[in-house]
Each structure stands twice: as C-alpha cells, then as structure tokens.
Amino acid sequence: MSLPSDNPVLDVRGLVFPADGSVLRQVHLAVGEGETVAVLGPQGAGKSVLRACLAGELDSAGGTVWTNGKPFHLMPPEAKRAFRLRHYGLVYQDTVFLPELTLADNVALPLRFAGVGAARARRKALTWLARFEIAEAADARLTGLPLDMVRRAALARAMVNDPLLVLADEPFAGLPSQSADMLGRVLNSIALSHGTAVLLFTDDPATAARCQRTVDLVAGRIAAGPVPSAAVTPAAPAAPSASVGAPAPVAVSTAGPDRVKAAR
C-alpha cells in the first residue's frame, strides 16, 4: 500500500461502514496540519460513526485511514490505542469526567495513562487550562461545574498531549454564541500555532462557520459544501479538499511548527 503523496495529517480514502455502506459510503477526506475542518451534517448522517472510525473505536469495513503518514487502519487494536493516546485529542459530545478527581487531574489523565509523571502531567494540564481561561478552577471538583467550563476542560484534555489531530464531536454544543466564538478562536489559534489538525463534527452551521473549512456529510458521503456566509475569515485559509468519490487534494500549511515535523 502506497503512502499518500501529499502526506497530510489525516488522509481518509474510501471509508466504508458497515460492509453494506449503509452508514458511511466511500468517504474521502484530508486534513492538513494547522487546519480546522468542520464536518457538517444533520443528525443521523453518520458523523459520530465517522468520528469513531477515525479514532479507531469502530473498525471500518473498507477504505484507508492514514494519520501522520502511518496506516492507522492497519494497526491492531492495542497499537491503535497507543497511537491515539500519543497523537490524537478526542472531544466527546457527552464528555464525562471523574468526579473523584480535580479538574486539573482529569485533564492530565491522558498523559498519566501514557506514562508521563504526575508533576509533569499536572504542569501540562495547568498550561492548557490557562490557555482555555479556566486555570482558576484547576483544583475544583467537577460537581456542579457550568457547561461552559466542562466544554473548555474537554478541549484542554484533548490538547494536553500536544496531539497531531483533534477529533471534536460537537465541542460547543449548548454554549452561548459568545463562549462558542471565543472557544472557536482559541481552537483556530492553537491549530495554527501548534500545527494541530482539527476535525470538528457538528450539525450546526454556526459552529461549522468557526472553522477554516466546511465539508458536508450527507447520507454517509462527503459532499463539497459551501463555506457558510457567516464564516469568520480564517487566519490561514485552505482550499476545500473534500470531494465525492475521489481522494481529495490537501492544503498543508507550510507554517507548521517543528513539533509536527519532528514527530514525522
């Protein structure tokens, strides 16, 4: 199997799930480093299944998923988990934290599971909590935490391992537009400064508009969608890279940080 020529952070080709293609049919998608892409689709379009397939939580029936030039689809489950722990940041729509731990400890958990020491993991967690402007709640328990803080903490937990790719399922759901705008700006700026590829799954055009690029997921297929009129001018605009039926061209930012290049 040959490596995709343009070597984006995420390169999905002909993804099918399940075998009869009733949920996902020939999904082609590519996301370059520093790019934020929204997968926009109505409920039941297959967004969550696509996210789960890309994260390796579901085994696709066909197609390839290359992450950072590695054939993610060929990895055995344990290797997928280790790879995910190192290179993926995941934001779940129904984010759950452990009420027995403080916010900082919860955010540091992915690092602790990856074998990073307690002090270092906590330092990283505090850095990311500060980046999402909730450093003051670092030692707070999770009970009764407002939704806004939970969403920020979920993003901080996803970013704590300096991932190459963030898969975020409705990360701004239920937030007032002001908070969502602010988080969208922070996410875009982090993507650019860290070279992180962000793939955001949503059914809300306003949320999609906060990303640099939008692709439509309709009935299990990616269709090139128009960028919503409310779209904020992206700091580093990228050409649409998703299309129906064919591997997509990818715009990879040339201003990516050294971290990504070193990891490659």
Partner 1 sequence: MSTVERTAGAEPNGFRVRLTLRMVLPVERPARVDAMRLAWSAALAALPLTVSLAAPVSALGTAGVLGLACAALPGVTATAWSAARMYDSRTGAMRALCQAGAEQRSAWVMATCRVVLFTGVGALVGGVCVIVFHSPLRRLLPKHSPLRPMLAVGGASWSAALVATVILVVLGALLASSPAWRRLDVLLRAAWAALPWSRVERVVSPVWAALRTASLSVRRAVRRLR
**Does 67 contact partner 1 by CB under 8 A?**
no
- CA distances (Å), origin 198, targets 41, 77, 78, 136, 178: 17, 23, 24, 26, 21
**Does 193 contact partner 1 by CB under 8 A?**
no
* Shortest reach from residue 112's CB to partner 1, in Å: 5
**Does 143 contact partner 1 by CB under 8 A?**
yes
Is 142 or 208 the residue whose CB approaches partner 1 more closely?
Answer: 142
Rounded CA-CA distance 100/136 in Å is: 18
Q: Are 46 and 223 in contact (CB under 8 A)?
A: no
Of residues 96, 130, 224, 255, which one binds partner 1 by CB under 8 A? 96
**Does 90 contact partner 1 by CB under 8 A?**
yes
Sites for partner 1 among residues 19-38 (CB under 8 A): none
**Does 106 contact partner 1 by CB under 8 A?**
yes
Is 20 or 100 the residue whose CB approaches partner 1 more closely?
Answer: 100
* Terminal-residue alpha carbon distance, the chain: 18
Binding mask 109-128 toward partner 1 (x if CB under 8 A, else -) reads: xxxxxxxxxx-x---x----
**Does 152 contact partner 1 by CB under 8 A?**
no
Cβ neighbours for 254, distance < 8 A, ≥ 6 positions apart: none
Scanning the structure block, which residue is given the tokens 């998703």? Answer: 242
**Does 5 contact partner 1 by CB under 8 A?**
no
**Does 147 contact partner 1 by CB under 8 A?**
no
**Does 95 contact partner 1 by CB under 8 A?**
yes
> 5-39 burial, b if ≥16 CB within 10 A, otherwise e?
eebbbbbbbbbbbeeebebbbbbbbbbbbbbbbbb
Size of the site for partner 1 (CB under 8 A): 38
Cβ neighbours for 125, distance < 8 A, ≥ 6 positions apart: 104, 105, 107, 108, 111, 138, 156, 160
Is 161 or 202 the residue whose CB approaches partner 1 more closely?
Answer: 161
**Does 162 contact partner 1 by CB under 8 A?**
yes
Of residues 74, 79, 82, 239, which one binds partner 1 by CB under 8 A? 82
Torsion (CA) 227, 56, 104, 257 in degrees, nearest 10: -60
Cβ neighbours for 117, distance < 8 A, ≥ 6 positions apart: none
Is 141 or 232 the residue whose CB approaches partner 1 more closely?
Answer: 141
What residue ranges bind partner 1 (CB under 8 A)? 81-82, 84-87, 90, 92, 94-101, 106, 109-118, 120, 124, 141, 143, 157, 161-163, 259, 262-263
